[in-house]
Amino acid sequence: MSPAPGRCSGLRQTRHGWLAGALLAGLPTAVLAGACDTPVLGTLAGAERSRWEEFDARGQSLVRERGTLKMAGLRAVGHCAALDWEATLGRSQGARDYDGVSSTQQALQTQSALRAQVATLSAWLPLGAGWSVGSQLGYRQIRRGIAASGPVLGYVERFDQLQAALGGRYQAALGQSLRLAASGWLGGGPGGRVRVDLPQADPVALPLGRHRLLVLGLQLEGGEPLGAGWSWQAGLAYRREQTGAGDARALLRNGVPVGAALQPRIVQQHLGASAAAVYRF
């Protein structure tokens, strides 16, 4: 974006969204039919190492951000008919060190403040021998604020993401009260526009390029798998997201054109650890 070094991120339509929706569509039917067990509820907390990079059309780095975000959320897991399901609500926030260039190509070091909220709904179809195939729909809202540094003014950007993914999972018992699960997701999301509040121009919505998503996870669970009461979970997760460059749009000030801006390609990587307390009714 020409007036300052920060950029925006989002998603474009993938061809796999209808596949994810097909498996998830079986959940409402099972719920209405009363074919669901009582869900397991839990709270989770953790931290993730977050990395954000932006690249120009030649592949040269424009921005690098690194920092640690705190995470907290709620989780529900259940079983309906032939499907296992999981719903999560999470929030992460923190600051990242910002190393980039200004619109005049001067080196700039500052900080970005990030606050993200995410909701996901996943459905798994067991295949036997510990294996399952799944689909996931997710919604993510992110606010990213770039702090002012010297003569460069700060600004805020906000965007929403819809994501759909297909996945696989393997579960194994390590003992009578200890279980391990490994999972992977691959997908993307529909196109979007990000609202950016610039210090010297009118608010602008920028289009975003094609989005790809990869998530890998490991989860260890302890406690009685069937009886009522408390149990615990610990997990590790790696997420990589790539968003292609968007098209340029005019910048206005009081309705008068003053420049143009576009969103370059973004690569995000997150490595996180979490712990959860789970209660089974």
pLDDT in tens, 67-123: 999 999 999 988 887 889 999 999 999 999 999 886 667 788 999 999 999 999 999
pLDDT greater than 80 at residue 26: no
Domain presence at residue 141: yes
Q: What is the pLDDT of residues 148-176, one digit of tens each?
A: 988 788 899 998 888 899 999 999 999 88
Q: Which of 273, 281, 217 is nearest to 77 (CA)?
A: 281
pTM, entire model: 0.85
pLDDT greater than 60 at residue 8: no
Question: Where in the sequence is the domain holding 154, given as residue range(s)?
Answer: 17-31+39-280
Judged by DSSP in three states, 245 sits in coil
Distance, CA of 76 to CA of 216 (rounded, Å): 20
pLDDT of residue 49: 97
pLDDT of residue 224: 67
Yes or no: say if 206 and 8 are a contact pair by the CB < 8 Å rule.
yes
Domain presence at residue 5: no
Domain presence at residue 9: no
pLDDT of residue 118: 94
Domain presence at residue 246: yes
Distance, CA of 187 to CA of 135 (rounded, Å): 10
Domain presence at residue 4: no
**Which CATH number does the domain housing residue 109 bear?**
2.40.128.100
Yes or no: say if 211 and 10 are a contact pair by the CB < 8 Å rule.
yes
Question: For strand 193-197 and strand 178-188, is the pairing parallel, antiparallel, or unpaired?
Answer: unpaired
| 190's tokens | 């529909």
**pLDDT band with cut points at 50, 70 and 90 for residue 10:** very low
pLDDT greater than 60 at residue 30: no
pLDDT of residue 5: 38
Domain presence at residue 2: no
Mean model confidence pLDDT for the chain: 84
Q: What is the pLDDT of residues 34-62, one digit of tens each?
A: 578 888 889 999 999 999 999 998 999 99
**pLDDT band with cut points at 50, 70 and 90 for residue 132:** very high
Between residues 125 and 37, the one the model is more confident about = 125
DSSP secondary structure of 92-120? EEEEEEEEEE-TTS-EEEEEEEEEEEEEE
Domain presence at residue 10: no
Q: Which residue type is seen at 120?
A: T
* Structural domain count, the chain: 1
